[in-house]
Amino acid sequence: MSNKIPDNVDKSCGCLIEDLLTKSEDSKCTGQPENSDYNKRERIMVDPDVEKISLDFYQKKFTDGLPIIPPTRSRVNKFYQYSKGDPQEVMAILPPLQGKATREKIAVNGVMAGCLPHFMPLLEKAVMGLGDEKFNLAGVNSTTHPVAVCTIINGPVRNELEFNSKSGCLGPGNLPNATIGRAIRFCLINIAGAVPGIGDHSTMGSSSKYSYCFAENEEKSPWEPLNVERNILADSGAVTLLGMEAAHNVNDHRSQNASDLLDTIIHTAATPGCNNSHVPGELLVIMSPEHARTISDEGWEKKDVKKYIHQHAVVPVNLADRGGRKLDEIWCKENMVPITRKIDDVVIVVAGGPGRHTMLAHGFGTSCESVTLPLD
């Protein structure tokens, strides 16, 4: 590199940047006229150091352990541009610590998670859903069970925000899936108080607590999407929040008819040890397009599949009644207990790319109902 000072640099004071950095304050530019610009100080605001803030926030237990984007005012303000209303308005109260989820706090946590500003309306809506009493966030957050918040996106917003509903939709590799799921976790940690070991007592935690968000592959589904099933117009889209364990695979490449394939699914689902076995509740079935097609080609409607799974996914009472809460006899029939209480506890979505797999997620149990909210 040449030592020659470029012509466009002001050399009038005789100081180079190296001088400014290495010489003491007193020795710099002595003898400059009093009215020289040198004596003026200009503050230049720079973005905080990512490593420093990440470590600081990590030590304060504000993060999931991974680096974060520093939530500066300017970054948070960009999120407000996509939001309507006062940043201090409380969108939800989140238990267990009854934190006030204001727009500001949602945006701050969204920035930290790496969300883009235009994700803000969806993020707000998701947090509002968490505040619904029927979701039982107080229990979901604090339990020793490894339940996480699973977020499913439906409608045009999937393509507008470029969610992944296809191959690898459960991760990794897609920005909206990854960061919105992560932002929801940050809201749980920092607004609700679900700090692992303090407000979140999951015995081992779960990888699904880092992020657990995907979109339904509506284009490849033979059935109506989840939002339509829940009486929300297809055009408006929706966000659905479920209290679910991490998803568990059902590999079936050989079944050539609905009955065989569904038998594989129900035998994988009907296991003791899940909360559903002693406190029956929702079961999430994420079916690949190929599996869904095998079933639908025989004329099965979605409601038929839900009914079949509800009726056949059963666990023997002696194995089922080993959970934290005593199994209530009202669920038992002929010495068996269904892992779902009713047909609509079987929540089916079609997602993923090519391949003959379905994924199942057991829920938190009787006390946690999923919430679906329309997007504006």
Partner 1 sequence: MKVNLVEKEVMDPLAESGQKNILLNDIPSPVHQISFFDNTKPGADIILNLLKTRLKQMDVIESKKPAGAAASKSQLEKAAEGDVSILALGDCGSCTTWVILDAIRLEKEGVPTLSICSHKFTPFARKLAQAHGAPNLRIVEIAHPIAGLDPEKVKEKTNFIIPEIEKILYNAD
* Nearest residue (CB) to partner 1, 112 versus 262: 112
Contact code string over 5-44 relative to partner 1, x by CB under 8 A: ---------------x----------------xxxxxxxx
Among 58, 116, 121, 138, contact with partner 1 (rule: CB under 8 A): 138
Minimal distance in Å, beta carbon 181 to partner 1?
A: 17
DSSP 274-325: SHHHHS---EEEEE-HHHHHHHHTTT--HHHHHHHHHHH-EEEHHHHTTSSS
Q: Which amino acid does the sequence have at 375?
A: L
Minimal distance in Å, beta carbon 67 to partner 1?
A: 13
> Which 3 state secondary structure label does DSSP give 363?
strand
Q: Which residues contact 189 (CB under 8 A, 6 or more apart)?
A: 61, 62, 63, 64, 195, 200
Total of chain residues touching partner 1, rule CB under 8 A: 66
Which range in 188-196, 206-214, 232-240, 335-343 contacts partner 1 by CB under 8 A? 188-196
Give dist(CA 242, CA 154) in Å, integer. 14
* Nearest residue (CB) to partner 1, 136 versus 296: 136
Which range in 234-242, 300-308, 320-328, 341-349 contacts partner 1 by CB under 8 A? 320-328
* 93 lies in the site for partner 1, by CB under 8 A: yes
Q: Which residue has the tokens 């899940």?
A: 274
Residue 295 Rama label (left phi>0; alpha psi -120 to 50; beta): alpha
The tokens describing 105, both together, are 């706090």
* 112 lies in the site for partner 1, by CB under 8 A: yes
* 365 lies in the site for partner 1, by CB under 8 A: yes
* 96 lies in the site for partner 1, by CB under 8 A: yes
Minimal distance in Å, beta carbon 169 to partner 1?
A: 28
* 370 lies in the site for partner 1, by CB under 8 A: no
* 199 lies in the site for partner 1, by CB under 8 A: yes
Which range in 168-176, 198-206, 224-232, 338-346 contacts partner 1 by CB under 8 A? 198-206
Contact 336, 277 (CB under 8 A): no
Contact 122, 239 (CB under 8 A): yes
Q: Which residues contact 373 (CB under 8 A, 6 or more apart)?
A: 125, 126, 128, 129, 238, 239, 240
* Nearest residue (CB) to partner 1, 139 versus 374: 139
* 86 lies in the site for partner 1, by CB under 8 A: no
* Nearest residue (CB) to partner 1, 204 versus 253: 204
Q: Which amino acid does the sequence have at 187?
A: C
Burial call 88-105: b when 16+ CB within 10 Å, e when fewer? eeebbebbbbebebbbbb
Neighbours of 59 (CB within 10 A): 9
* 148 lies in the site for partner 1, by CB under 8 A: no
* 104 lies in the site for partner 1, by CB under 8 A: yes
| Positions 54 through 73 that interact with partner 1 (CB under 8 A) | 57, 62, 70-73
Picking from 246, 144, 248, the residue whose alpha carbon sits closest to that of residue 204 is 144
List strands edge to edge, sheet with 357-362: 248-251, 357-362, 283-287, 346-350
* Nearest residue (CB) to partner 1, 1 versus 45: 45
Residue 114 Rama label (left phi>0; alpha psi -120 to 50; beta): left
Which range in 160-168, 190-198, 225-233, 251-259 contacts partner 1 by CB under 8 A? 190-198
Q: Which amino acid does the sequence have at 345?
A: D
Give dist(CA 106, CA 112) in Å, integer. 10
Minimal distance in Å, beta carbon 166 to partner 1?
A: 32
| Positions 224 through 283 that interact with partner 1 (CB under 8 A) | 279
Give dist(CA 198, CA 55) in Å, integer. 20
* 97 lies in the site for partner 1, by CB under 8 A: yes
* 135 lies in the site for partner 1, by CB under 8 A: no
* Nearest residue (CB) to partner 1, 29 versus 234: 29
* Nearest residue (CB) to partner 1, 37 versus 301: 37
Binding region for partner 1 (CB under 8 A): 20, 37-49, 53, 57, 62, 70-74, 76, 90, 93-102, 104-105, 108-109, 112, 136, 138-145, 186, 190-191, 193, 198-202, 279, 324-326, 364-368
